[in-house]
Amino acid sequence: MKFEQLIYEEKDQVAWITLNRPKVLNALSMQLSSELVEAIKRIRESTDLKFVVIIGAGNNFSVGDDIREMIKWGDANQIMRRVRYYQNMANQLEELDKITIAAVDGYAVGGGLEITMACDFVIATERAKWGMPEVDVGITPGWGGTTRLSRLIGRRRAKEINLIGALHTAQTAVDWNLWNRVVPIDQLNTEVERLLDVFRSKNQQGLRQLKFMINRGVECDLYTAQGFEALSAGLTGAVSGMWKIKDADQGKGIYGFQDKNSLWKKRRNLARDFWTD
């Protein structure tokens, strides 16, 4: 896809995505959303890229879905299909095996705020504003404004944000555990680069495992989440060189199937008809 409403760049293992409709405060048109989906797909398929930074052109991140286009979404079924398309976009962004950073200046409301919630880290300027004002347009959020938001800041705060529709300061987002850091207006890019430098110094496989564990663990019970931690500990040992386990196959089962050797035949002959009467 040729990008027309976003700018996509790859540099030093970082994919930079710039939402590029500054005249309308980077409102998410259907085209821009499709381009964002394509950019995320490109990033997902890359093993060279390790980090993603999403920013907005001009002095704003994004004011969310382009309300003027909603009449084009179609009937109720088509609207539901588009919302699910956007949900998948946010899910794919959240599931990237890269560290994702939203760098926010100006407004991040509606769908713009929902993008930040799907990112791992959010750095914002002192003048940044955020909220979910859909209620005053007579619509409801579709891809994170109630679901991810309530998981991040709690049910009561999420109701306050959605039912009232006020716009809040960046510092409030940090105080409520929605965003990570507030910086002076002229320090946004510098702070992003500082954070990237920290991540570049890390064991990248460790970062991938930690992100996966936290994202999955927060959605399940304690013991299941601890299972992810235990498996990750084993994987960490394996990729660090301590992979040999005396009573593990070490690939013999796969090679046995491939070659149909004596190991494969013994296992299948013992198991094939066991308790099948």
Residues catalogued as catalytic: 114, 134
Amino acid at 266: K
107 DSSP β-pair partners: 129
CA distances from 79 to 30, 71, 74 (A): 12, 10, 6
Q: Which residues contact 78 (CB under 8 A, 6 or more apart)?
A: none
Identify whether the C-beta of residue 60 lies closer than 8 Å to the C-beta of residue 25: yes
